[in-house]
Structure 1
Amino acid sequence: MPIQLAMALLMASVVSRLESGRSAALYIFAIPLGISDLAAGLIWLAIFDQSGFLNTLLSGLGIVDRPVMFLGYQSKLTIFIAVALAEIWRATAIMMVILVAGMGLIPKEYYEAAEVFGAGPWKRFVRITLPLLRPSLQTAIILRVILAFEVFAVVAALGGTNLPVLMGETYNWQFTLQDRNVAAASALLILAISIGFTLFFLRVLRVPKEARI
């Protein structure tokens, strides 16, 4: 989440500052939005698999003598990193689109006035963009947190049962172990956690009425 937020802010800032080619940059950044969770997992599986792109590259450079098993049952850390990379690549665009829309609502007069008084780019970003972007940040973070707790297909493609996640455990209890009661309890746990984080970020990123644009 922190990496995705930082990347989304950077991408949104780049898109918002572009005078020409803004639409093209936005479309390029948003390409992962058109890819499903499972498809994203399979794409990254093709990278980390024993016969995948990464092993081919390492072998071609002479770094390894034989293919490395990145996604083996003993490589939980590597599986976690692969899942994190896949999710960062796939879902950062969701936050970026929301932040681009929010930045578009900030009046340019604020930046012009700050520039007149000698505020640099970083100070304008910290003192103007971030405070006025709170409603969009609130929406983007809450949406991403909820989706993070629902991650399943990417993990299934890259790690299978080697990397247990809440949604995967719910699926196993429902369809593999045929225990609907535990599956329902697990689903309610995910719901409770999601509601808890939603209320937390609504509180932390609360926007006073008088501060709204």
Structure 2
Amino acid sequence: MTGDLYFGQAVRFTLIITAIAVPLQVALGLAIALLVNTRFRGHSVFLYLAALPIGISDLAAGMIWLSILTERGYLNAALQRLGLIAQPIVFLTLERPEWLLGAIILTELWRATAIVMVIVLAGLQLIPKDYAETAAVFGAGRWQTVRHVILPLLRPSLQTALIIRTILAFQLFATVLTLAGRQIPVLAGEAYFWYSLYRSPGVASAYAVLILLLSATITWIYLYSLAPKAGEVRV
């Protein structure tokens, strides 16, 4: 496995995608969940639209964003119609791997943030309103209530969301293959190529074990670092 020309790149790109996409997904999912929990007018429709990407597979999400970002895609067509550009912009080009990486992260952000949002929203709805009301009585503002009351009580939900999203990020393959082919190698993709293309189940298994070890290590770190401290209130 270590002799694979793509091994180093696969490890690097997998870690980069995970390190960028997962925190953004958690932050955005948390923000959307907090917004929906305010039950503003039309929040049910907003929740439905925000949760819609959950039903979309990795491959389908990649195809959708490929149709948007390709040279003859919807984004270039819209920009040209608005007169903002004269010639189509080549977003998905091998000459700019950082653009390919950005497209992958953007696609994952759109597709998987809903998973975090649903988990966090479920946790929010389990928190008794008495906590926020008591904080307001003692003069806490909205941001102070969220920071010092809501977020500590949401720790189990955030822990769950982080673990699920990180494990799934290590398994990311179809989106990458659709948007970048093998120009952005990832660990799950290498496992697939070695098993299906090169007919080498041993190397593919080694990649799978590496993904398992990374997932187990990150899960342990999350469980240890986000474990409730002694004396903390639990919902």
Question: Normalization by structure 1: what TM-score?
Answer: 0.95
Q: 1:50 Cα deviation (Å)?
A: 1.0
Higher alpha-carbon deviation: 77-86 or 62-71: 62-71
Equivalent residue, structure 2, for 1:41: 62
1:150 alignment partner AA: Q
> Quick one: distance in 2 between partners of 1:76 and 1:101?
38
2:195 alignment partner AA: Q
Equivalent residue, structure 2, for 1:184: 205
Q: Secondary structure at the match of 2:228?
A: coil
Equivalent residue, structure 2, for 1:148: 169
Q: Give the ranges of 4+ consecutive aligned residues of structure 1 lying more than 3 Å apart after TM superposition.
A: 19-22, 61-65
Q: 1:66 Cα deviation (Å)?
A: 2.7
Higher alpha-carbon deviation: 56-65 or 9-18: 56-65
Equivalent residue, structure 1, for 2:103: 82
1:212 aligns with 2:234: yes
The superposition leaves residues 36-76 of structure 1 with CA deviations (integer Å, 9 ceiling, x where unpaired) of 11110001001111110122123334444332222122221
2:50 alignment partner AA: F
Unaligned runs of 5+ in 2: 1-21
Count of aligned positions: 213
Superposition RMSD in Å: 1.4
> Quick one: distance in 2 between partners of 1:31 and 1:46?
19
> Quick one: distance in 2 between partners of 1:66 and 1:137?
44
- CA 1:65 to 1:177, structure 2 compared with 1: closer, same or farther past 3 Å? same
> Quick one: distance in 1 between partners of 2:78 and 2:45?
30
Q: Secondary structure at the match of 2:90?
A: coil
The superposition leaves residues 147-188 of structure 1 with CA deviations (integer Å, 9 ceiling, x where unpaired) of 111111111111111111111111111111211111100000
Question: Normalization by structure 2: what TM-score?
Answer: 0.86
Q: 1:33 Cα deviation (Å)?
A: 0.6
Percent sequence identity over aligned pairs: 47
Q: 1:19 Cα deviation (Å)?
A: 5.1
> Quick one: distance in 1 between partners of 2:217 and 2:59?
27
1:136 alignment partner AA: S
1:47 alignment partner AA: I
